[in-house]
Chain A
Amino acid sequence: MAGELGQQTVELGTVARQAAEESYLALRELVEKSRAGAEGEVAQQRSDTEKKIDLLKFIDRTRQRMLRLHVLAKWCQQVPLLHYCQQLASTLSSHETCFIQTGDSLFFMHEGLQQARAPIFDVSSAIEVIHTGSYRRLPKSVEEIGTQNTLFQDERKPTLKKLSTLVRAKLLETLVPKEMSEVSVTDGIANVQVDGEFKVLLTLGYRGHFSLWRILHIELLVGENTGPIKLEETRRYVLGDDIERRMAVADNPLTILYTILHELCISFVMDTVIRQTNVLRQGRWKEAIKSELVSDSHRSAGQGGNNAPTQLGQDGELDSSGFRIPGLKINYWLDERNSGSAESDSSPFIKVEALQDMQIKCQHSSFVLDPLTDKEADLSLDLSCIDVEAIILKAIACNRHTRLLEIQRELKKNTRISRSPTDVVLKRKEVHMDVLQKRVDRRGFENCCTNEVLQVRAYGKSYIHLGINIRSGGFLLQSPKNILPPSAVLDSEEALNKRSITPTEVFVSLKTRSILQLFAATGRFLGVKVYSECQITLKIPKSILYGSDFMVMGFPWRTNAYYLLMQLDDNLMPVFYLLEVHIDGEDRSNIDTTTDAKEVVRFNRIDIGQMQLGEDECIANLLDVEKLQVLQSMEDGSPGHSEIDESLPLKPSFSSVVNAVLGYERDSPSKENWLSYSSPSTHLSSQKVGRQGVSSRAGPPELDDELLHSNIDTAKVASGVTLDSYLLSNSKSANSTETSVSVPAGDHPSKLSAC
């Protein structure tokens, strides 16, 4: 009772203080009241009697309080006694405990004495010893002292045989899960294996019960390329013990075994995948991939056709609803949809997760084709050699292939780009790396290392290549420098990546420009000036333009009155127009950049289909000297400032020649739609071009549909040197070659050698 009493205490000092405080406050209140009464109205004033009564009340209350306090204080003198009593009480209770323990130990001793009174003799061993003079097995009690108990060699075989039979019998009557691929029994040990996951060695005899299983060895077969995951000894023992225990109480021990080890393997695999992804994310694939954990919210316990979870749910031991293995979602090609806001949903992803049936599945976000099999890509994870990077690379390769295939289809529909089957081709560049072939699976390696490109023909054997960047998913355009300037390629690539134009448009534009560039190069080679946009401004009527890609070339006689407009029509056929430009007198000598846009006064389409070309090897004289001399007299214009060689008086005859070409047509161009000229590409300086020649080898090319293809030779000659150095080299060679420029005379079909 002393223990229960005195548990809650209060300090005497506190009590005393509070009592004093309350009394004081009460007194103050009285004083305040009387003071208030004194200062207030007369009616509020308390009479003397009332004040007296108040005071008496106060005194009485305070006295009561003080009395109680006094009693308390007096009582407190007994506190030491109380403490002593409490000490005694605790001593007594400890004595009690001792007595109880004594009683218990006496009781057990009593039992032990009974056993000691009559020990159990090992009668069977005694008989054996008496009869045979030796003993086969040590008696249990002697064994417990600690000597080993192993079978004799000659006994092993039959015993193991018996054990094997027992194990086989047990296996037959136990339900073996279908996922267990291999079950074999040797020497009494059952080898149970699930391919790619784990291997267990089992036998019978759990704690002496021959119907229960014992685990001898567990081995995991999942792993990375460094080898399978190694289970440490202690962990293996603990796991083995736990599984044995569960198997002993379960109806289907092998099912339990499978479920537990399978889940272990799956969680190992997911851990490895997540870890590898993190390593990749911080290493080689930094900024190129993004990963996040995914918990399957659609899974619920006991659903699905799989038996294992349901049974476990009944057991209550392993509840699949509470045990979620997280999945992993890896996003790649993060630069997709640069819309400013980070939309992770739009970039393609691979999802690796353990589904309801506890099998790991890799899914791709969109349908992708496998370039090697031309069917839907099957991203599967090899559990014995987990390599996330390989999966990512495979997915990227398939995605790239799929995209290029789509673009190829799109381009093939367009007749401007695809006229023959070899115009748009999906090509795979093999990468030869003999060293690595030994270690890595060849098929998988091929998939990730081959560089796939879409090859689109520009003209002849010149191609433009469209590839996709593995890291960013962006398009890469590539073309030989001589057919397209790098800036054009980069611009197109950028536009393509921003999705501002379709691939068809890009390729049409690039093809057009490459052809125009080829013409321009050839033109330069022949002596015409190719103008860039900063050099000249012309107002060209829109009616004759097919698009924004065209080229203007000038003639090298300083007559900046006439220009050759070259463009490609909708079928990518070259179309030529001769433009005559109105000039005032002051601008005549100025062949450099003019700020005023010149108006095109008249134009004529040059129908190259109607032209006849000479077949002979001689250089076709574009300018017949005699004819020029004849025409010279007809010329009305003042001689222009020509710097051409004196041997060829070209200058005065040209305009008349042009007049002849144009057939004295005076069709006034419509003044409505004027377009300022802007040449698309060339960045050549407007250097004076001296006489350039066409070597005799390259004869006048055929001007028909095969122009594009047969111009290879010319193009090669022209493109053998870069455009920039071309002029320099040609100015040196100017003296060595002859000029051959022919001008049509009269109404005869012109022999215009233009490319």
Chain B
Amino acid sequence: MDNAAPNSSSSAAATAAAVAAAAASGNGVQGGDRPEDPSKQNLAQVTASIQRTLGLLHQLNLNVSSFSSASQLPLLQRLNALVAELDTMQKLAEGCNIQVPMEVVNLIDDGKNPDEFTRDVLNSCIAKNQITKGKTDAFKSLRKHLLEELEEAFPEDIEAYRQIRATSAAESKRLAQSQNVLPNGDSNVKAEH
């Protein structure tokens, strides 16, 4: 029962899980994990609590289904433990403020995989990205074409323009490089198209 959820996950869910792991570890944001830690911890605690509850329930089930007079006491004990665990869970849940989209909840209620939601979000993001990339490429080609034509018509102006552009680009690169300094003194340089 505990493993029911992971067992039913599809490949998409697996890739999503992999992406999630990659994202979680390969985040561009190196620093700033500190504020996330408590919430992560909280989430982990809640999850653990839920797991414990599930375990207890399982045992209780076994107890009840194969009931004998001797198992009266363990039954009561487990019931009490269950209640205690529920109480713990509630207390832990108070500190948890992760916002969950309704779509996910609906998916779970319908019995589907909530990773589908994540997948949808990612896909839309990728799609948008592609669209914008296309536009960017179009503009780049337009610029290139314009400059070529202009160079034929007004060579001096273009030359002046290029010089201005080069100086400003160098300026901005220098600024960017000074910001992207790695701890060991190297700078993180991006490849220029």
B108→A71 contact, CB < 8 A: yes
Is A63 on the interface with B (CB-CB < 8 A)? yes
In the complex, chain A residues whose CB is within 8 Å of the CB of B20: 77-78, 81
Evaluate contact between B114 and A72: CB separation under 8 angstroms.
yes
Is B81 located at the chain interface by the 8 A CB criterion? Answer: no
In the complex, B161 has a CB within 8 A of chain A: no
Complex Cα distance, B19 from A80, in Å, reads 12
Closest residue of chain A to B16, judged by CB? A78
Q: Are A72 and B105 in contact (CB under 8 A)?
A: yes
Q: How far is the CA of A89 from the CA of B89 in the complex (A)?
A: 35
Q: Chain B, 61-96, contact with A by CB distance < 8 Å: what is the 0/1 string?
A: 100110100000000000100110011011011111
Instruction: Determine whether the beta carbon of A12 is less than 8 Å from that of B90.
Output: no
The listed residue (A10, A15, A16, A55) touching B64 by CB distance below 8 A is A55
Q: A13-B96, A99-B139 are in contact. Are A2 and B90 (CB under 8 A)?
A: no
Q: Does B99 lie at the interface of the complex (its beta carbon under 8 Å from any beta carbon of A)?
A: yes
A6-B101, A89-B125 known; A20 and B79 CB under 8 Å? no
CB of A2 within 8 A of CB of B121, answer: yes
* Given the contacts A16-B50, A72-B114, A85-B125, A59 and B99 also touching, CB distance less than 8 Å: no
Q: Given A59-B60, A89-B128, are A8 and B24 also a contact pair (CB < 8 Å)?
A: no
Query: Which residue of the partner chain, among B64, B89, B139, contacts A102 with CB atoms under 8 Å?
Result: B139
A92, B64: Cβ atoms under 8 Å?
no
Complex contact B50–A70 (CB within 8 A):
yes
Given A24-B86, A63-B1, A99-B139, CB of A73 within 8 Å of CB of B121: no
Rounded to whole Å, the gap between the CB of B110 and the closest CB of chain A is 11
Interface pair A74/B47, CB less than 8 Å apart = yes
Q: Is B189 an interface residue (CB 8 A)?
A: no
The contact string, 1 if C-beta is below 8 Å from chain B, for chain A 230-271, is 000000000000000000000000000000000000000000
Contact call A16/B96, Cβ cutoff below 8 A: yes
CB pair B125 A12 closer than 8 Å = no
B129: CB under 8 A from chain A?
yes
B152 at the interface (CB under 8 A from A): no
Q: Is the CB of A73 within 8 A of B101?
A: no
A69→B125 contact, CB < 8 A: no
Chain A residue total in the interface (Cβ 8 A): 55
A126 vs B153: C-alpha distance in the bound complex, in angstroms?
30
B95-117, CB under 8 A of A: which get 1 and which 0? 11111111111001100001101
List which A52-66 residues lie within 8 A (CB) of chain B: 52, 55-56, 59-60, 62-63, 66
Q: Give the chain B neighbours of A81 by CB distance below 8 A.
A: 19-20, 23-24, 118, 122
- Closest CB-CB distance, A72 to chain B, in whole Å? 6
A56/B97 in contact, CB under 8 A? no
CB–CB A9/B132 < 8 A: no
* Chain A interface residues (CB < 8 Å from chain B): 1-2, 5-17, 20-21, 23-24, 27, 52, 55-56, 59-60, 62-63, 66-82, 84-86, 88-89, 92-93, 95-96, 99, 102
9 contacts between A and B (CB under 8 A): A1-B121, A5-B117, A12-B98, A63-B57, A67-B1, A67-B5, A72-B114, A81-B20, A82-B118
In the A-B complex, the 8 residue pairs with the smallest Cβ-Cβ separation, listed nearest first, are A1-B124, A13-B96, A16-B93, A9-B99, A6-B101, A13-B93, A8-B102, A73-B47
Binding site for A on B (CB under 8 A): 1-2, 4-5, 16, 19-20, 23-24, 27, 36, 43, 46-47, 50-51, 53-54, 57-58, 60-61, 64-65, 67, 79, 82-83, 86-87, 89-90, 92-105, 108-109, 114-115, 117-118, 120-125, 127-129, 131-132, 135-136, 139
